[in-house]
Homo-oligomer: A and B are copies of this chain.
Amino acid sequence: MALLKTRIVAPSLMLQTSFRALRRPNLSHALLSLSRTISSTSPAAHPRSPHTLVDWRTMAPQDISKYLRQTHDKVFEHNKAWAAEKCSKDPEFFAHLSAGQNPEYLWIGCSDSRIPAEQITGLEAGDVFVHRNIANLVCNTDLNAMSVITYAVEHLKVKHIVVCGHYGCGGVKAAMTPKDMGILNPWLRNIRDVYRLHEKELDAIADEETRYNRLVELNVMEQCRNVIKSASVQKSYAENKFPIVHGWVFGFHDGLLKDLNLDFEKVLADIQKIYNLTES
């Protein structure tokens, strides 16, 4: 019983074919105690796993409020422990951090909670400038992403720009579905545009899962192209021989990064036939 975990679960998780609670070994006793109280009265308790799932629709308002308070406070406990540990290992750690950043990587990845960029790459605080959005998209008229790229290239002089997608991407899945997603339509349409560019190749793939995974890869490659279309990347590379743009895909099943081996020099030359902004 010491391992029992409770978690409030959404009644329907669109875009996810299946769902199982993640193991959360770092939940505190305070939360555990609440969990037990709630789970004992909940019909949604999950008998097959050590994690007990609770449907928030059956919770009393004060229990929801309590739960929200506790999950909130938890983060501050974690943060204090992290800061103390960093300090004990390296008393100058935060002095160095305060001094400024000099990252060599720009990471453009998916917002998906299962891809903590720094952890899976082993990069430390200070090493990687990060932009994460739904389906790791780089849209040329999106000032959010374009500001990130411009700042990273022109001011931080990053050496690498990584666009990292992942198999099993909910955003890519949604874009393969004939469905009105409301305000999400315009964003997801960027992925449908990728499909259109590679319609023949994709339509020739009979197996849906394989086609879906291929779209994930092609989406990464197209977003790399979009990065390369920007004036800042083209100009910096002409002058400095960096940044290099990379396309990677993360797999949940083994935790490994796959390099799509984008031939940067070749793609750049290809793109500059139409998108040359270097005036050379």
Contacts and interface: CB of A to CB of B under 8 A. Distances in A.
Contacts of A187: 141, 143-144, 147
Interface string A216-238: 00000000000001110001000
* A contact face: mostly helix, strand, loop, or mixed: mixed
Most B C-beta atoms less than 10 A away, residue of A186, A199, A246: A186
A208 interface: no
- Count copies of this chain in the complex: 4
Given A102-B10, A113-B103, A147-B183, A254 B127 contact: no
Q: Which of A14, A76, A143, A156 has the most CB of B within 10 A?
A: A143
A242 B68 contact: yes
Contact of A131 (B23, B133, B229, B244): B133
Contacts of A168: 98
A102 B143 contact: no
Interface string A118-158: 11111111111111111001011111111110111011110
A150 B104 contact: no
15 contacts: A14-B155, A17-B100, A22-B97, A22-B101, A24-B127, A72-B160, A83-B254, A101-B114, A111-B148, A137-B144, A143-B143, A144-B144, A178-B280, A192-B275, A199-B273
Given A141-B143, A147-B187, A235-B180, A125 B116 contact: yes
